[in-house]
Amino acid sequence: MLVLGMLKRVVSGTTQSKAFGCWKLALPLRFLGSAPCRIPAEDSFHSTSFSEAEPPRVFITGGLGQLGAGLAGLLRRRFGKDNVILSDIKKPPAHVLHSGPFIYADILDYKKLREIVVNHRITWLFHYSALLSAVGEANVALARDVNITGLHNILDVAAEFNVRLFVPSTIGAFGATSPRNPAPDLCIQRPRTIYGVSKVHAELMGEYYHSRYGLDFRCLRYPGIISADSQPGGGTTDYAVQIFHDAAKKGTFECNLKASTRLPMMYISDCLRATLEVMEAPAERLSMRTYNISAMSFTPEELAQAILKHIPDFQITYCVDPLRQAIAESWPMKLDDSNARMDWGWKHDFDLPQLVATMLTFHGASTRFAQAN
């Protein structure tokens, strides 16, 4: 009878803690005790951490990469300069420093990340810090730290403070056994690079945190991104950026991929707009947490032919890099982005002719197209 009485008291205490308390194991152990009592995941499925009547307070990691400064500019025009904080571990150029708030932030410093989110009242977080495909293969240990350990820090901070989180993924998240033409949103993913593996990991961890902790996680699989005002960052698709620099300056380009290598691509303004649109989309319109987006698909030979229409004496040669070629051949030739177009209205603006004209105009190349118009 004594044992039975003790059991009754234990059961009674457990029931009371369910009714009036909260489960301490609802969050990762590293921030137990510092987080407020959380609503169970199924009740906070569509929760946000800010009033829709107020602009979000935005924090961007890896802000000096190909996309960070451009995204900051877009968000500052929409939400106000002081509401968007750019960060990196490198010294910013003067034009970036003077364009809006910039701070030093190392994503491997978990305590510092928490301080930033608290002190600046962050409600949206864009996590761009990563080592890209070819660079990651040259330094796997560093890529593992930045792309995986850094991601874990970001996920935990975002979940603790109920921050809406965007993490970009990539065509590198697919592998040789994935469908290539086109690759759907849901299919086999078996990448063979640390970059690709880390991006699959990010997709799955984000979806897990969404279902387990109610984190508002959103992710887009980017194709190769082409931008005029940035230097190539070590990615396999970066030939499609370098070719415009060389065409405008030298009239020649040596490509490290085979002429027939087809990959999906997108101009940066479409990419940044898609990122903002998916972050602003009502949660009830999102049928998934990770979407493909696409705009065009071409080969180096097709890109060169499009440039020749503007620079008649342009010449391209090929010196294939086996590492990059192997990576490219494991990636999709085209992405199926029908779910993004259906769910939240994604639509690209730039096709190949518009891309080429825009890039060459930016680089000051004298073209027959410009003269004719």
Q: pLDDT tens digit string along 2-60?
A: 444 544 444 444 444 333 334 434 555 565 434 433 333 333 333 344 445 799 999 99
Mean pLDDT along residues 126-142: 91
Reference 153, options 208, 211, 206, 108; nearest CA is: 108
Q: What is the pLDDT of residue 53?
A: 72
What are the start-end ranges of the E strands in the chain?
58-61, 84-88, 102-104, 124-127, 164-166, 169-170, 217-222, 224-226, 252-255, 263-267, 290-292, 296-298, 315-318
Provide the 8-state DSSP code for 147.
I
- Specify which residues 84 forms β-bridges with: 58
Mean pLDDT along residues 112-118: 98
| Percent with pLDDT over 70 in the chain | 83
Torsion angle in degrees (nearest 10) through CA of 349, 220, 217, 53 = -10
Largest CA distance in the chain: 98
Q: What is the pLDDT of residue 168?
A: 97
Q: What is the pLDDT of residue 366?
A: 47
Q: Which residues make Cβ contacts (< 8 Å) with residue 83, sequence separation at least 6?
A: 55, 56, 57, 58, 75, 76
Asked if the model's pLDDT at residue 271 lies above 50, the reply is yes
Q: Which residues make Cβ contacts (< 8 Å) with residue 302, sequence separation at least 6?
A: 352
Computed over every residue of the chain, the mean pLDDT equals 87
Question: What pTM was computed for the model?
Answer: 0.83
Asked if the model's pLDDT at residue 141 lies above 80, the reply is yes
Reference 301, options 290, 291, 315; nearest CA is: 315
Q: What is the pLDDT of residue 201?
A: 98
Helices and strands (DSSP H and E) totals, the chain:
15, 13
Mean pLDDT along residues 178-201: 96
CA gyration radius, the chain: 23
Asked if the model's pLDDT at residue 219 lies above 80, the reply is yes
Asked if the model's pLDDT at residue 119 lies above 80, the reply is yes
Q: Any idea which residues carry the catalytic annotation?
A: 195
- Tell me if residue 86 falls in helix, strand or coil: strand
Q: Which residues make Cβ contacts (< 8 Å) with residue 301, sequence separation at least 6?
A: 259, 260, 316
- Specify which residues 138 forms β-bridges with: none
Q: What is the pLDDT of residue 2?
A: 45
Asked if the model's pLDDT at residue 133 lies above 90, the reply is no
Q: What is the pLDDT of residue 38?
A: 37
Q: What is the pLDDT of residue 135?
A: 87
Q: What is the pLDDT of residue 21?
A: 39
CA distances from 155 to 4, 280, 344 (A): 44, 20, 24
Mean pLDDT along residues 259-266: 97
- Cα–Cα distance between 113 and 347 in angstroms, integer? 34
